[in-house]
């Protein structure tokens, strides 16, 4: 029997996906002294969802097709299918479904790419995607039970289960990335974030959060807690190296332990136009890649290679880079691979996680918020990327197009 011809008239067409808007809470320091000690993780992400709806009044809540929220530690106030519970707590219609997702540091990034793929396929028109991590309530790795085969069969180097050790390994692999160079990069990150705050580039996407610490009254938080303005090379040189004696990774050239949440609205280009929603970026391509877990920080390089190939672009086409600063050495290894100077003005213009913090699963949308703001300010840039390393040996990259560029969408 001969095969029946395919009815191409009803075939699905891949649709453009756009980043409509994104917000985040101020990031806090994890632990008893942090601003969110005593605050629930799910309440943080609910604040973000509610603020997105407030900022986009032309978006009916009933038109949201999915809520995808990431958390690395999916238990307690970050568990119970947090995408669904956060949607309910935020007051979205009960008809709006939700789910939880985990790809460690790239949780929010994966929430965005997963739902974006569904939008492109035609399953959804509008989604909310984001992430939350309360590292004070849920220290990284707490309650985890790694399979003993990881060690007995040498599937993973024991050092790979500690992210700081993997950063030291990266220093070993690239001896040109010295501690002094990592510290200089960290100082620049602090300076760039301080300048971005001074210019008012961070505040527009922050959701004010009223939080009450045990035994204290409520306080409204409108700025990030982790930044250390005035950081100097001399002060960083005095810090201890907790992961290795005479090592190169310190609390000053790495992101800290943080609490915070993010959320974004994504839509098909058609739905955005129909609903009168703004467009801050168009998704061009995305990719994830695996690497040896013991050098986890190199993950953004193969992920970027894959994403560039999918987009038909070269690294020279990228006008802005938002690279998550889990560790300075991780960013510097990426820059060295592509021959980009440490001080290149295209890289992390507003500073990065070394200064602002890295609440694991939430950070991907922070990168996107910052890139979108820079796109608006610099119409000369057509393409930018957001990229990050991911625990246990992975990397993720998303390439975006600037709608303010003169050639926007011409070869989409």
Reported as a single tens digit per residue, the pLDDT across 48-86 is 999 999 999 999 999 999 999 999 999 999 999 999 999
Mean pLDDT of 299-319: 98
Split at pLDDT 50, 70, 90, the class of 215 is confident
In the residue annotation, 389 being an active-site residue is answered as yes
- pLDDT of 11 above 70: no
Instruction: Give the pLDDT of residue 147.
Output: 87
In the residue annotation, 105 being an active-site residue is answered as yes
Rounded CA separation 203/171 (Å): 34
Q: Tens digits of per-residue pLDDT, 113-172?
A: 999 999 999 999 999 999 999 999 999 888 888 888 888 888 887 777 789 999 999 999
Instruction: Give the pLDDT of residue 153.
Output: 87
Give the least confident one: 91-95, 150-154, 182-186, 292-296. Answer: 150-154
Place of tokens 């992101």: 255
**Span 15-136+156-400: which CATH code?**
3.40.47.10
- pLDDT of 412 above 60: no
Instruction: Give the pLDDT of residue 29.
Output: 97
- pLDDT of 362 above 70: yes
Of 138, 171, 221, 358, the active-site residue reads 358
Q: Where along the chain do its domains lie?
A: 15-136+156-400
- pLDDT of 9 above 60: no
Split at pLDDT 50, 70, 90, the class of 5 is low
Q: Tens digits of per-residue pLDDT, 263-276?
A: 999 999 999 999 99
In the residue annotation, 48 being an active-site residue is answered as no
Mean pLDDT of 301-317: 98
Of 37, 105, 171, 221, the active-site residue reads 105
Instruction: Give the pLDDT of residue 2.
Output: 52
Instruction: Give the pLDDT of residue 160.
Output: 73
Mean pLDDT of 385-396: 96
- pLDDT of 227 above 60: yes
Q: Tens digits of per-residue pLDDT, 118-132?
A: 999 999 999 999 999
Q: Which tokens sit at 119?
A: 């939008």
Distance in Å from the first CA to the final CA of the chain: 40
Which residues are CB-contacts of 411 (< 8 A; sequence separation ≥ 6)? none
Mean pLDDT of 317-346: 98
Give the least confident one: 147-151, 287-291, 327-331. Answer: 147-151
Tell me whether strands 383-390 and 66-70 are parallel, antiparallel or unpaired.
unpaired
Split at pLDDT 50, 70, 90, the class of 282 is very high
Instruction: Give the pLDDT of residue 12.
Output: 72
Of 37, 48, 134, 389, the active-site residue reads 389
Mean residue pLDDT of the chain comes to 95
Mean pLDDT of 247-256: 97
State pTM to two decimals. Answer: 0.95
């Amino acid at each position: 029997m001969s095969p029946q011809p395919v009815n191409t008239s009803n075939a699905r067409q891949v649709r453009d996906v756009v980043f409509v808007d994104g917000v985040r809470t101020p990031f806090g320091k994890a632990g008893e002294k942090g601003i969110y000690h005593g605050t629930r993780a799910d309440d943080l992400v609910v604040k973000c969802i509610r603020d997105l709806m407030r900022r986009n009044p032309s978006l009916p809540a009933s038109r949201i097709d999915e809520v995808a929220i990431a958390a690395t530690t999916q238990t307690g106030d970050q568990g119970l299918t947090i995408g669904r519970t956060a949607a309910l707590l935020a007051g979205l219609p009960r008809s709006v479904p939700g789910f939880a997702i985990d790809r460690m540091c790239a949780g929010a990034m994966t929430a965005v790419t997963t739902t974006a793929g569904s939008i492109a396929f035609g399953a959804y028109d509008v989604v909310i995607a984001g992430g939350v991590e309360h590292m004070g309530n849920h220290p990284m790795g707490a309650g985890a039970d790694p399979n003993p085969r990881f060690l007995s069969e040498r599937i993973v180097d024991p050092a790979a289960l500690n992210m700081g050790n993997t950063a030291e390994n990266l220093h070993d692999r690239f001896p040109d990335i010295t501690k002094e160079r990592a510290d200089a990069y960290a100082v620049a990150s602090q300076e760039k974030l301080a300048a971005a705050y001074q210019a008012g580039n961070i505040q527009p996407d922050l959701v004010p959060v009223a939080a009450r610490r045990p035994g204290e009254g409520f306080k409204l938080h409108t700025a990030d807690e982790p930044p250390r303005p005035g950081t100097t090379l001399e002060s960083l040189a005095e810090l201890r190296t907790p992961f290795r004696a005479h090592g190169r990774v310190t609390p000053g050239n790495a992101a800290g332990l943080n609490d915070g949440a993010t959320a974004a609205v994504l839509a098909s280009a058609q739905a955005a136009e129909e609903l009168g929603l703004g467009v801050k970026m168009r998704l061009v391509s995305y990719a994830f890649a695996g690497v040896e877990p013991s050098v986890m920080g190199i993950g953004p390089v193969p992920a970027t290679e894959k994403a560039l190939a999918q987009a038909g672009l070269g690294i020279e086409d990228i006008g802005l880079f938002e690279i998550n600063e889990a560790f300075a050495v991780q960013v510097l290894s990426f820059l060295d691979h592509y021959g980009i100077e440490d001080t290149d003005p295209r890289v992390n213009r507003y500073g990065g996680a070394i200064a602002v913090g890295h609440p694991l699963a939430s950070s991907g949308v922070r990168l996107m918020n910052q890139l979108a703001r820079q796109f608006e300010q610099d119409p000369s840039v057509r393409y930018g990327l957001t990229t990050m390393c991911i625990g246990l040996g992975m990397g993720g990259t998303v390439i975006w197009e600037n709608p303010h560029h003169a050639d926007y969408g011409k070869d989409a």
